[in-house]
């Protein structure tokens, strides 16, 4: 008998929750494929190590961009492999709940459910990421009080106001931590004449990236390829430069939070001041981002204790209480 | 003759009224059940989101992830 599953199919990472067991898999949403034969060569961490370092006949790709499937076939194969790895066989077909960005279109929604069903699920239900994140972050969403949550993922940033088990206000933008990495890449290319890969850009963001100035601001030596000579080159990058480089996506995220605040009913708005806004998702771990949002909105911002796992834990709770929480699923409400 | 003809009509009318009343009662009871269903479903939904209900699936994982079990 197959155990039902919850999957956080993120642009950056994929997490799988198995009913009765908890999180059983957490790895990058990357798949490496042989272009000639079409064979899958690696997934997850192994494929992530290959990004930008493969011979021409191997391609290591992220099949999701902005929370949406960009390559249906590869996504289906990735989901099939994920299901196999957690013990799903041809004869055991589990029910699967998948977390998706709230802003996805009807076509994208159908692409996700079709890919999951074809990969071996008996039933595929979708749940909005901010709702799942609020459940997973253990916010008191069963009470008639305003709970605000910001989920900053690899490709999307979503802000939601939740009360009495339902979404009251929602704002989503297709800007995430990958856009922050991309702005670092283009800044280094433009200002220093050096090409760097997306993994290097991510490392720069993690080590010296910040959304607000702080006493811990540092600089780092970056290695890349000189655009003029084509030779390896090292340049020094300061935290201030990185802050300047990533200003555009950071400002877009902050603006979407402000828009969501303005949509919230006044009765709930006063709850945010006393209870604060919760921040989840890998992108939310950018240094100083909570302070920046707090400064611009005048509302305290708190980091969830499990920012990377909150979404899948929330979806996992829905799979544990499938009948009672059926109303949470996207198809059941629309 | 006339009395004999009226009697079945009265009985038929009574039967029809009883039938209508029965149908109305069944409809009202069904409607009440549906309202009750809505209330109980909402309560089930809210109860399933309570911190107590979430303790099992979330706190257990909190401990698991602290120990790095799923990685």
Model confidence, pTM: 0.84
For B70, the token pair is 């799923």
Residue A62 confidence class, pLDDT cut points 50, 70, 90: confident
Question: Whole-number mean pLDDT of chain A?
Answer: 90
Q: Is B51 on the interface with A (CB under 8 A)?
A: yes
Residue A292 vs residues A68, A75, A195, A197, A245: alpha-carbon distances, Å: 28, 35, 29, 27, 16
CA atoms within 13 A on the CB side of A227: 12
Cβ neighbours, 10 Å, residue B4: 7
Percent of chain A with pLDDT over 90: 60
Distance between CA atoms of residues B8 and B31, nearest Å: 34
Residue spans of the domains in chain B: they are 22-71
Per DSSP, the three-state class of A190 is: helix
Q: How confident is the model at residue B66 (pLDDT cuts 50, 70, 90)?
A: low
CA distance B65 to chain A (A): 8
DSSP state, residue B57: I
pLDDT band at B56 (very low <50, low <70, confident <90, very high): confident
Residue B70 — pLDDT band, cuts 50, 70, 90?
A: very low
- Which residue in the set B45, B57, B65 is minimally distant from A306, CB to CB? B65
Give the gap in angstroms from C-alpha B61 to the nearest C-alpha of chain A.
Answer: 6
Q: Tell me the per-residue pLDDT of A98-142, one tens digit each, with 9 for 90 and over.
A: 998 888 888 888 888 998 898 889 999 999 999 999 999 989 988
Binning pLDDT at 50, 70 and 90, where does residue B69 land?
Answer: very low
CA distance A280 to A249: 17
pLDDT recorded at residue A74: 85
Amino acid A217: pLDDT: 87
What pLDDT, on a 0 to 100 scale, did the predictor assign at position B64? 61
Beta-strand runs (E) in A188-313: 194-195, 219-226, 232-238, 277-280, 301-303
Which residue from B minimizes the CA distance to A144?
Answer: B46
Q: Which fold has domain A177-247?
A: Actin; Chain A, domain 4 (3.90.640)
Chain A residues in contact with B53 (beta carbon < 8 A): 317, 321
Q: Is B47 on the interface with A (CB under 8 A)?
A: yes
Q: State which H helix or E strand residue B6 sits in.
A: helix B2-48
User: Looking at residue B33, what is its pLDDT?
Assistant: 62
Q: What's the pLDDT score for residue B71? A: 36
Domain boundaries, chain A: 5-131+311-333, 139-175+248-306, 177-247
> Residue A54 pLDDT > 90, yes or no?
no
Burial class (CB in 10 A: 0-12, 13-18, 19+), A76: buried
For the cut 70, the answer to whether the pLDDT of residue A26 exceeds it is yes
From the list B45, B50, B58, the residue facing A313 with the nearest CB is: B58
Chain B interface mutation, best of A16, A22, A329, highest count of B Cβ atoms under 10 Å? A22
Contacts of B57 in chain A (CB under 8 A): 22, 313, 316-317, 320
A294-304 pLDDT, tens digit each: 999 999 999 98
A139-175+248-306: what CATH class? alpha beta
User: Do A231 and A225 form a contact (C-beta atoms < 8 A)?
Assistant: yes
pLDDT of residue A71: 81
Residue B2 pLDDT greater than 70, yes or no: no
> With an 8 Å Cβ cutoff, are A138 and B58 in contact?
yes
**Opening angle at CA A9, ends A5 and A12, nearest 5:** 140
Compute how many other C-beta atoms are within 10 angstroms of the C-beta atom of residue A252: 15
**Percent of chain A's residues with pLDDT above 70:** 98
Residues of chain B neighbouring A17 (CB-CB closer than 8 A): 61
Architecture of domain A5-131+311-333: 2-Layer Sandwich (3.30)
Q: Where is pLDDT greater, at A195 or A107?
A: A195
Residue A300 has what pLDDT?
95
Q: Are domains A139-175+248-306 and A177-247 of this chain identical in fold?
A: no
Minimum Cα–Cα distance from A324: chain B residue: B45
Closest CA to A120 of A99, A85, A94: A94
The residue of B38, B49, B69 whose CB has the most chain A CBs within 10 angstroms, and thus the best one to mutate to test that interface, is B49
Q: Check residue A270 and give its pLDDT.
A: 87
């Amino acid at each position: 008998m197959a155990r039902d599953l919850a999957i956080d199919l993120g642009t950056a990472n994929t997490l799988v929750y198995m009913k009765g067991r908890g999180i059983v898999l957490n790895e990058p949403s990357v798949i490496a494929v042989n272009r000639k034969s079409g064979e899958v060569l690696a997934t997850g961490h192994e494929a992530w190590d290959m990004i930008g370092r493969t011979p021409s006949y191997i391609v290591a790709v992220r099949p999701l961009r902005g929370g949406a499937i960009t390559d249906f076939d590869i996504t289906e194969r990735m989901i099939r492999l994920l299901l196999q790895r957690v013990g799903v066989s041809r004869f055991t077909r589990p029910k699967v709940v998948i977390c998706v960005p709230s802003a996805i279109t009807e076509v994208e929604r159908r692409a996700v459910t079709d890919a999951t069903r074809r990969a071996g699920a008996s039933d595929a239900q979708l749940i909005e990421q901010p709702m799942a994140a609020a459940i997973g972050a253990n916010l008191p969403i069963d009470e008639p009080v305003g709970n605000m949550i910001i989920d900053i993922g690899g490709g999307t940033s979503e802000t939601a106001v939740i009360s009495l088990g339902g979404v009251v206000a929602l704002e989503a933008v297709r800007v995430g931590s990958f856009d922050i990495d991309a702005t670092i890449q283009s800044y280094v290319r433009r200002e220093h004449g050096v090409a760097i890969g997306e993994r290097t850009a991510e490392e720069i963001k993690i080590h010296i990236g910040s959304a607000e100035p702080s006493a811990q601001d540092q600089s780092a030596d970056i290695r890349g390829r000189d655009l003029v000579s084509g030779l390896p080159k090292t340049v020094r990058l300061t935290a201030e430069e990185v802050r300047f480089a990533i200003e555009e996506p950071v400002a877009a995220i902050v603006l979407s939070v402000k828009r969501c605040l303005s949509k919230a009913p006044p009765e709930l708005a006063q709850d945010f001041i006393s209870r604060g806004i919760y921040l989840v998702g890998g992108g939310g771990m950018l240094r100083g981002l909570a302070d920046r949002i707090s400064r611009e909105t005048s509302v305290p911002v708190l980091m969830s204790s499990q920012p990377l796992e909150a979404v899948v834990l929330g979806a996992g709770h829905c799979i544990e209480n499938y009948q009672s929480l059926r109303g949470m699923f996207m198809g059941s409400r629309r | 003759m006339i009395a004999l003809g009226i009697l079945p009509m009265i009985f038929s009318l009574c039967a029809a009224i009883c039938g209508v009343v029965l149908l109305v009662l069944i409809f009202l009871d069904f409607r009440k059940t549906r309202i009750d269903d809505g209330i109980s479903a909402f309560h089930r939904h809210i109860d399933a989101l309570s911190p107590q209900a979430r303790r099992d699936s979330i706190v257990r994982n909190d401990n698991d992830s602290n120990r790095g079990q799923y990685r």
